Structure 1
Amino acid sequence: MLRGLLHLARLIGIARSLARHDALWPLEMVSRRILPFRIAVGFLRLLFRRRRPGRPGERLAAALAAMGPSFVKLGQALSVRADLVGDEVATDLEKLQDGLDPFPTDAAIRTIEETLAQPLDAMFAQFDREPVAAASIAQVHFATTTDGRDVAVKVLRPGIEEILERDIGLFRALARLAERIQPKIRRLRPVAVVETFEEWIRVELDLRLEGAAAAELKENCEGDEDFHVVSVDWERTGQRVLTTERIRGINIDDVQGMRELGHDPDKILERSARIFFLQVFRDGYFHADMHPGNMFIDADGRLCPVDFGIMGRVTRRQRLFMADTLVGFLSRDYRRVAEAHFEIGYVPPNQSRDLFTQALRAIGEPVLDKPLNEISVGRLLEQMFRTTERFDMPTQPDLLLLQKTMLVAEGVGRKLNPGVNMWLLARPLIEEWMIANRGPEARIVDTVRETMETLERLPRTLRRAEETLERLAKNGMNPDGSLREPAGWRGNLGLWAPMAVLGVLAAIVVFMGNS
C-alpha cells in the first residue's frame, strides 16, 4: 500500500514535468482506454498551456533530462526501441546526453577514501580537483598515481543507488500497467525494456563490473594492434571507484584533428569496420555505447574505447543469423533473410514464408536502390524490426541493442568519409567468417559440441528423475505409476504441508505484484 502511494506521488511529479515540457503524449497513448487517466492527462494539459518548440522526441528528451539521472538512462534505453517509440523519437532520444553538473570534489574524494580504505595521498601523488567529465551516474577526474602513472578515476555520485532503486521500481510498475491496459503493447515487451535498463544500471552501479567488462574486452582484442583497451588499476578500484589508464587522443569524429596528426580518415574507417566485425562476430561481445565521446584515436592511430558500462553479447546462433541477414540484404537475397528468421525461431512457424519474404523485399528495395554509400544497414534492420507486429514476432532486446550500436557506428563512418559504406568494407570479413562457420567442418564441430553438452546434462537429468520418483513413492505414488491407498490426513501431512506453504507464498507474490 505504502509503495503504491509513493509510486502515485512520483507519477504525479513525472506528469507535471512532462506537461511543463509539452511532452504529455506518452501518457496520452497509455491512458486512452482508461477514463480517469484520460481525464487527469487532459486536466494537466489545460493546467500547463505551454506550447514548446521542437519535435515530440526533442520535448520528451528535455523533460527526461530535467527529471534526473534515472530518466536520462531510461531515455537512452528507449532510444534502442524505435519499434516502441517510433523512428523520429528514437533518433531524438539518441541525442540525449547524460551530462549533469558535477558534484563537489570533496564528496568524490570522500567516496574514494571510504571505498578504497586509504587516504587520497597514499594512492595518488596528484589529483585534479576539476572533473574532466560529469555524467548522470558518475564523474571522472584525472590523476597521477604514487608510482607515476597517469590515470582516470571514475567516482559514483553520492546517493545515486537509492535514487535509481526507487525509480526502477516505478518504471517496472508502469511497464506492467501498460501491458495490462494495452494488450497490443505486450508484444513490444515494455517490461523487457525496464529489465534491460535495470541490467545496464546494475553494471554501472558497481564499477568493479565495468572494470571486468574492460578487462574482458582487452583480453579478447589482445592481438589487435589497431585497437587499444585501457588497463584497469585494480588496486585503486572498488564498487564505487574505477581507476584506469588515461587515454590521450582525439575524438573519432574529429576528422581535421586526425589529418593534423598525420592519420588517414579512410584508414581509421577501415579499422573501425574491422574492429566492429571482430567484436560482434569473432567474440560475440561488443562495446554497445560507442558514440564519439567514448572512442578516441591516439598518436599511433589506434582506436581507444572508454566507458564500458553498456556492453552487448550475442550468441553464436545470433551471430550466424546476423551474418545471414546482412549478407542476404546486401545481395538482395530476401529468401535467405526470411529463412534465417524462421530457422532461429524469430518468426512463428505458422506464418507464411512467402509473405514474409515479400515484406522483406518491400523493406529492402527502397533502401538498397540508393547509392552504396547512402545505404544504412542499421535503418534497414530497424525497418525490419518494425514488421514484427504483422508477423506476430516478439521483440528481441539483444538484437535491438546491436542495431543501435550499428546506427552509431554508421554515423561515425559517414563523418569520416561520406562516400564510403563501412558495411561493404566489413562484408568480405563476414563472408569469410560464414564460410568458416557454415561449412561441413563447422557443422561437425557444432554437432559434437551439442552432443557433449547433452551428455554433460544427462547425469543431472537422471539424478533429478530418480529424486522425483523417490518423492512420488514417499508421498503416495508407487514407482510403477499406480496410486497408493490413502493413509488419512496424517499420513499425507508430508505432502499437504509443503503444498499449503507454496499456496500461501503464491498468494503473497500475487498480492505484492498487484499492489
Structure 2
Amino acid sequence: MRGPHNIWRLIRTGATFERNGAMPILLDAVDAPPLARVVLRSLAWPFQWLGLKGDPKLTPVTRALNVLGPAYIKFGQVLSTRPDIAGEDLAKQLRVLQDKLPPFSTELAKKSVEDELGRPADELFSEFGEAVAAASIAQVHRARLAATGQEVAVKVLRPSIERAFRKDIDAFYFAAGVLEILLPGTRRLRPTEVIEHFDKGVTGELDLRLESAAASEFGANTIDDEMFQVPEPNWELSGRRVMVLDWAEGTAIGDNDALDAAGHDRQIIAARVLQLFLSHALRDGYFHADMHQGNMKIAENGDIIAYDFGIMGRIDEYTRRVYAEILYGFITRDYRRVAEVHFEAGYVPADRDVEEFANALRAVGEPIFGMDASSISMGRLLHYLFEVTERFGMETRTELILLQRTMVVVEGVARSLDPRINIWQVAKPIVEGYIKENLGPKALMADLVRTVRVLSRFGPLLPRMAEDALIARSQKPEAPPKAQPVKVGLVFGAGVALAFAVQWIWVAVT
C-alpha cells in the first residue's frame, strides 16, 4: 500500500465525515472510548474544510458515503447487511443509501462494448438507448439485438472503475489498521476481516462474467418454480466488462396502483415472493440476496421476474438443515429443540446451560407469537435470536447475517404488497416441506446411499492396497509373518462386503 496517498485519503475521508456530522455516529457505532473520540475528532475537525459536502436531505453517514464516491457507497451497502458490525440503527440507515449515480455517456458505454466484444455496438445492436439505471459499479442500457430483434439489457462497468476501487480499497485496509491501533475495542469487530470480505465481494462484481454465471446458475435452479422467471444471459455477448441479459418486461413490484390496474392479485404475489426466497435458501442453498422492489417486476401473466445478480447468498447443506430446524422449532414453539440444535451445531459453546438457553429463546419467541398477524416478523425474530446467541457466546456467522438481512428486505416487499400478510402462515409449508424431505427417514436413506457411494469408489483400490500392505510388512523382519494375511483378508473381505452393500442399497432405493 502507498502510505502517503492513503494518509491523504484518510484525512479527506475523516474531514468529510466530520463536515457532514457523521463522525460521532460512527464512533458510537464502534463504541469508541472517550480518549479515542477526543483524538479522532481533534484530528478531523481542523481539516473539515477539506471534506466534501454531501446532500443535506440524506442522513449524515449516508450523506458522507454518497459524496465520497462509488467505493464508499458500495461499502455502505455491504455494511447495511452487517448489523452486527454497524449496529442495527446505522445498518437501517445504510439500507436506504442512494445507489443511483449520474450515468456516464452512452458513447462511452458503446466504446466499452466494442473494446470488450471486438465489434462496434451499432453492429451488434439495432437500438441502444440511454442508461435506464446507474449504480456505483455499472449502468444498464435497453437495447435490441441486430441479429434477432430481441430486446435485451446491456450492463456496462463504469470506465476505470477497477482502478478507482483498488485505490479506495487500499485506503480502507490502511484505515482498518489505524482503527485497530487507535481503538483496540474495535478489534472484536475485526475491521480488517470486514474489508477483506468487502474486497472479495467487489472483486467479484467487477467481473461481469461472474454475474452472468450467477444468473445462469440461479436460472437453472429455479427453472421449474411456478410464477418465477430469471432472465437468461447471452454468453456470446458477455465478457468481463459487459453483460447482456434478456430484457425483463413487466410492472414494477413497488407500484401497487399499477399492479392493481393490471389486474394482479397482490396478496398472491406477496406470499409467493416470501415462499420463493425461502425455497431458494433452503432447497438450493443459493438465493438472491438483494430482492428489493428495484430488482423485481411482475410479468403480464403474473410471474415474478428477478434480475441484478451482483449479490447472491450461498449456504451449505448442513447449515440449511440447522437453519430449517431452528425456524421450524420457533414455528412449533419447541424452544428446547431450538436450543439443542444450536448446541449440536456447535454454535453455542458446550459449557453453557441448555435449559437456560431454551428459556432465553422462549423470551424471544413468545412475544412475537402474541402479536397481531400484521406485526409478526421473521426478520425481527432472527435479529432477537442473534442478540440472545451472542450473549451465550455464539460467534457471528456471515452467511446467516446475509440471510437475515435478505429476509428483512423480502418481508418489507411482501408487506408493501399485502400489509395483513401472516409471515408464519406463509412460511410454514415451505419449512415443513424442507424438514420432511431433508430430515426424515427418506433423507436418512439418501444420506446413507451417498455415503456408501463415496466409500464404494475405493473398491477398485482395495486389491492394490492389500498388495502394498503385504509388500510393506514383508520388508519388516520384526513383523509377525502370519498376521498379515489375516489383516489383508479382512480388508479385502470388507471391500467385497461393501460392494455388495452398495449394490443392494442402490437397487432398493432407486
Considering the TM-score relative to the shorter chain, is it more than 0.5? yes
Unpaired segments ≥5 residues, structure 2? 465-475, 479-510
Deviates more, 1:437-446 or 1:136-145: 437-446
CA 1:225 to 1:32, structure 2 compared with 1: closer, same or farther past 3 Å?
closer
Which residue of 1 is the match for residue 66 of structure 2?
Answer: 65
Which residue of 1 is the match for residue 27 of structure 2?
Answer: 28
Q: Which amino acid aligns with 1:39?
A: V
Is contact 1:98-1:135 (8 Å) kept? yes
Compute the displacement of 1:180 (Å).
Answer: 5.5
Compute the displacement of 1:37 (Å).
Answer: 7.3
In 2, distance between residues paired with 1:56 and 1:218? Answer: 39
Q: Which amino acid aligns with 1:278?
A: S
Structure 2 residue 39 is the aligned partner of structure 1 residue 39: yes
Is contact 1:31-1:38 (8 Å) kept? no
Q: Counterpart of 1:359 in 2: which secondary structure?
A: helix
- 4+ residue segments displaced more than 6 Å: 52-57, 454-460
1:7-65 CA-to-partner distances (Å, cap 9, x unmatched) read 21111111011011100025535694595774242353476599x99999921111111
Compute the displacement of 1:87 (Å).
Answer: 1.6
Is contact 2:253-2:296 (8 Å) kept? yes
Q: Matched residues, percent identical?
A: 42
Which residue of 1 is the match for residue 95 of structure 2?
Answer: 94
CA 1:247 to 1:34, structure 2 compared with 1: closer, same or farther past 3 Å?
same
Which residue of 2 is the match for residue 11 of structure 1?
Answer: 10
Unpaired segments ≥5 residues, structure 1? 464-477, 481-515
User: What is the TM-score normalised by the length of structure 2?
Assistant: 0.83
CA 1:123 to 1:57, structure 2 compared with 1: closer, same or farther past 3 Å?
closer
In 1, distance between residues paired with 2:428 and 2:194? Answer: 31
In 1, distance between residues paired with 2:320 and 2:158? Answer: 37
1:353-378 CA-to-partner distances (Å, cap 9, x unmatched) read 22222222222233332112211111
Which residue of 1 is the match for residue 303 of structure 2?
Answer: 302
1:84-126 CA-to-partner distances (Å, cap 9, x unmatched) read 2222211111111211001122111111100000011220111
1:412-443 CA-to-partner distances (Å, cap 9, x unmatched) read 11111111123421211211220221112312
RMSD: 3.0
Q: Counterpart of 1:318 in 2: which secondary structure?
A: helix
Counterparts of residues 136-147 of structure 1 (less than 5 Å): 136-146=136-146, 147=148
1:320-349 CA-to-partner distances (Å, cap 9, x unmatched) read 111112122223222222112112221121
Which residue of 2 is the match for residue 408 of structure 1?
Answer: 409
Which residue of 1 is the match for residue 501 of structure 2?
Answer: none
Which residue of 2 is the match for residue 380 of structure 1?
Answer: 381
CA 1:31 to 1:301, structure 2 compared with 1: closer, same or farther past 3 Å?
closer
User: What is the TM-score normalised by the length of structure 1?
Assistant: 0.82
Deviates more, 1:29-38 or 1:16-25: 29-38
Q: Which amino acid aligns with 2:387?
A: R
CA 1:171 to 1:346, structure 2 compared with 1: closer, same or farther past 3 Å?
farther
In 1, distance between residues paired with 2:455 and 2:93? Answer: 47
In 2, distance between residues paired with 1:325 and 1:366? Answer: 17
In 2, distance between residues paired with 1:368 and 1:458? Answer: 54
Q: Which amino acid aligns with 1:21?
A: N
1:433-481 CA-to-partner distances (Å, cap 9, x unmatched) read 2022111231232244346557769999xx9xxxxxxxxxxxxxx9x9x
Which residue of 2 is the match for residue 494 of structure 1?
Answer: none
Deviates more, 1:385-394 or 1:434-443: 385-394
Q: Counterpart of 2:348 in 1: which secondary structure?
A: coil
CA 1:299 to 1:442, structure 2 compared with 1: closer, same or farther past 3 Å?
same
Q: Counterpart of 1:140 in 2: which secondary structure?
A: strand
Is contact 1:28-1:38 (8 Å) kept? no
